[in-house]
Structure 1
Amino acid sequence: MYRKPINRVKEVIDYYKLNISNFEKEVGLSNNSIQTAIKRESNLKDETLNSILNRFSEISAEWLLTGNGQMIKSDSDNYKIITSSTDGVPYYENIEVSGGALPMYSDYKETPTFYINYEHFNDCTAYLPVVGDSMYPSYCSGEIVAVKEILNKDVIQWGETYFVATNGNANDLKTIKQVHYHEDESKIILRASNPNFKGDIVINKEDILHMFIVKGKIKRNQL
């Protein structure tokens, strides 16, 4: 059942052990504005939600707006960016992970923009930026995903999200999608999680140049 953001705002108020009046003052809202919204179960303005997120920075924007994920941001923000050494996993600013299945016609060697040293993802192959919204809300444009290359394409975790790069037979795609089983075991199905992007993409395994499982992400509030 869909729950409006105002219901999650009540959880935020309870989490910080504030009464509604004090919460309104903390966020800089007029008296009784939240109280009225709670009574009417009405939607909040974007400006109000942004004020809440600005004041309580540890609250996940994705959770507050959509209900997905956890209320408090995970410790994935506790990573270290290293620009002067090669410790950690390389981040490639110019190799975009397309959430819209855009074709990429070049596959040249890139120099890492910098390295990210975050223990839980240090077994990954690379960090890459996401563009497009076909994987919203799981992976949004502007976020960074940590990917690990898999070498055996016959061992796939069905339903999980992968970054797949193909050859010209599959239109040179470089895309992030959920991977699903196809009855023809020589093929796989690529599927968007955003319901606004309808239709599956079916590709032959032999046309896959590289395949990476997405192990996690880093969320950027500003680019």
Structure 2
Amino acid sequence: MGSTERIREYLDYKGITKYKFCNDLGFSNKFLDNSSNMGTDKACKILHYYPEINSEWLLTGNGSMIKEDNTNIVIMNNDRKTIDSLHVSQEIPLYDLEAVAGLRELFSSGKPQRVLDTIKIPNLPKCDGAISVTGDSMYPLLKSGDIILYKETEFDNIFFGEMYLLSVKLNDWEEYITVKYVQKSEQGQEFVKLVSQNSHHQPKDIHISKISALALIKASIRINTMM
């Protein structure tokens, strides 16, 4: 059974019509007519739109259709033009950011860092690490306490419009760590605009020299209940 067949099985289980599915996700109406495996970009978009689907089941047929716990895992690259390769198995370190001098220290010092635990999620894009979110600038997409999984990158490889974990230098000894959408700035190529999901936070243009560390957000994890 291919992944498109498994999607048809899920739609039947949920009582969702093929037309609504294709219309909601912007797919061709003939997308579900074949029985082959779908591409990575479409799989990521489906898992983002229907977070209760077990990603391992969708991609391989193994495991249950619906996630057995009450944890939402959202893969963040559903609208990007590039396609990430999915890794069947990887162990991602969850870092204690409070025990680190900052993102720059975490990313480039080369020193061992405090790892609280490791995260294993099948068929996830390659990630370098994970940290817990603080603040409400990306609410409701992200809320304080959510875990974000990231891939370190350089400014030259930025995809404008994507969500990034970044460190902004306030002065020679302070940095501001935040999660924002990074967009092109009207002030020129030497600037970027940092945009929040939360409408109460105003966009801010900063000079690129102020960015001391940068990582693309690949996925997020939200624990809905501890019961």
Task: Find the partner of 1:187 among 188, 191, 207.
Answer: 191
- Contact kept in structure 2, 1:105 and 1:172, CA below 8 Å: no
Task: Find the partner of 1:106 among 101, 104, 109.
Answer: 101
Q: Does 1:73 align with 2:76?
A: no
Separation in 2 of the partners of 1:74 and 1:15? 11
- Contact kept in structure 2, 1:143 and 1:220, CA below 8 Å: yes
Separation in 2 of the partners of 1:72 and 1:175? 25
- Identical counterparts, % of pairs: 25
Aligned residue type for 1:191 = V
- Contact kept in structure 1, 2:182 and 2:192, CA below 8 Å: yes
Report the 3-state secondary structure (helix = DSSP H, G, I; strand = E; otherwise coil) of the residue aligned with 2:133: strand
TM-score normalised by structure 2 residue count: 0.53
Runs (4+) off by over 4 Å: 76-79
User: 1:158 corresponds to which residue?
Assistant: 160
Q: Does 1:141 align with 2:120?
A: no
List alignment gaps of at least 5 residues for structure 2.
Answer: 1-12, 16-47, 56-66, 70-89, 107-112
Shift in Å at residue 71 of structure 1?
5.4
TM-score normalised by structure 1 residue count: 0.54
- Contact kept in structure 1, 2:125 and 2:218, CA below 8 Å: no
Aligned residue type for 2:212 = L
Residue correspondences, number: 142
Task: Find the partner of 1:212 among 207, 211, 215.
Answer: 215
Give the 3 Å change call, closer, same or farther, for CA 72–212 of structure 1 in structure 2.
closer
User: 1:65 corresponds to which residue?
Assistant: none
Separation in 2 of the partners of 1:119 and 1:113? 20
Give the 3 Å change call, closer, same or farther, for CA 129–209 of structure 1 in structure 2.
same
Structure showing the higher strand proportion among its residues: 2
Separation in 2 of the partners of 1:116 and 1:205? 32
Give the 3 Å change call, closer, same or farther, for CA 78–180 of structure 1 in structure 2.
farther
Query: Looking at CA atoms only, which structure, 1 or 2, has the larger radius of gyration?
Result: 1
Aligned residue type for 1:190 = L
Shift in Å at residue 111 of structure 1?
1.0
User: 2:169 corresponds to which residue?
Assistant: 167
Relative CO higher for 1 or 2, CA cutoff 8 Å, sep ≥ 6?
2
Task: Indicate the RMSD between aligned Cα atoms, in angstroms.
Answer: 3.2
Report the 3-state secondary structure (helix = DSSP H, G, I; strand = E; otherwise coil) of the residue aligned with 1:206: helix
Give the 3 Å change call, closer, same or farther, for CA 208–187 of structure 1 in structure 2.
same
Report the 3-state secondary structure (helix = DSSP H, G, I; strand = E; otherwise coil) of the residue aligned with 2:130: strand
